[in-house]
Amino acid sequence: MIDVHRQPLEDQVDRLMGAYKKVRSERTHLESVVRMLEREITQRSDEINRLEHELIMLRRGREEAGRFESERLEMRDKIENLLRDLESVEQE
């Protein structure tokens, strides 16, 4: 009587073990995918941080360039005024 039930139970155990191994294999694969995605996220985050820093530096550079340009124009105006003053002194 026990032998009659034994084979179906062994078959069921074999199927369950096969399913367990498949699930375990899939879990390992998914964990690997998660690690890969985490690395990708970290790399992209680092790239975003680098680009944000570069943008800040470019904005600062543009601000400084604007200041230098206004200083250059101011100096040019002073030089032109000095040249006019010099010409007027020479004419007197």
Rg of the chain on CA atoms, in Å: 39
Residue-wise pLDDT for 11-38, tens only, equals 999 999 999 999 999 999 999 999 999 9
d(CA 16, CA 22): 10
pTM of the predicted model over 0.75 = no
d(CA 1, CA 83): 122
Residue 8 burial (C-beta neighbours within 10 Å; 0-12, 13-18, 19+): exposed
Q: Does pLDDT of 5 surpass 90?
A: no
Per-domain residue ranges for the chain? 1-91
Specify whether the backbone of 80 is left (phi greater than 0), alpha (psi in -120 to 50) or beta: alpha
Residue-wise pLDDT for 34-44, tens only, equals 999 999 999 99
